[in-house]
Amino acid sequence: MTVMNQEALQRRWQERCRQGNFSSAVLGVGTIRVFGRSGDTPVAFPRVESLAALDTLEADERWALQNAQDLIHSARTRRRPVMATQPPRPGVIPNPVPVYEFDPKSENLLILSMTQGG
């Protein structure tokens, strides 16, 4: 896929998120936060029941899901910890759990920075 196509798909995905107009297989929008990245901008992806739903998604939704999958795979390859958390709720202490494989149903994923030294 060319860089231009990638950029066009990214723009379409961002517009879809603003409008909230998703394919029927999309459960909602998940987010990935990459710690240590400039600005810590969350990366949005469509939450789906399973990757078997790929054929029912629009091209930009498939792009966003693949982008999320690639981020998690890249982090795991570089041995960066990846954690899943529940959405923040008042009075509830978060209980993050380690992620070893990308789960497209996840709501909040964190890619943590490597801690070195002591």
Instruction: Output the DSSP codes for 31-97.
Output: EEEETTSGGGPPEEEEEES-GGGGGGS-HHHHHHHHHHHHHHHHHHHTT--EEEEPPP-TT-----E
CB atoms within 10 A of CB 42: 14
Q: pTM for the complete prediction?
A: 0.85
Task: Report pLDDT digits (tens) over 10-38.
Answer: 999 999 999 999 999 999 999 999 987 66
- pLDDT at 115 > cutoff 70: no
Alpha carbon of 73 to those of 26, 31, 99, 104: distances in Å? 22, 15, 10, 13
pLDDT-derived band at 92, boundaries 50, 70, 90: confident
Q: What is the average pLDDT across 50-79?
A: 94
Residue ranges covered by each domain of the chain = 3-111
The answer to whether 48 touches 25, Cβ cutoff 8 Å, is yes
Q: When comparing pLDDT for 64 and 89, which is higher?
A: 64
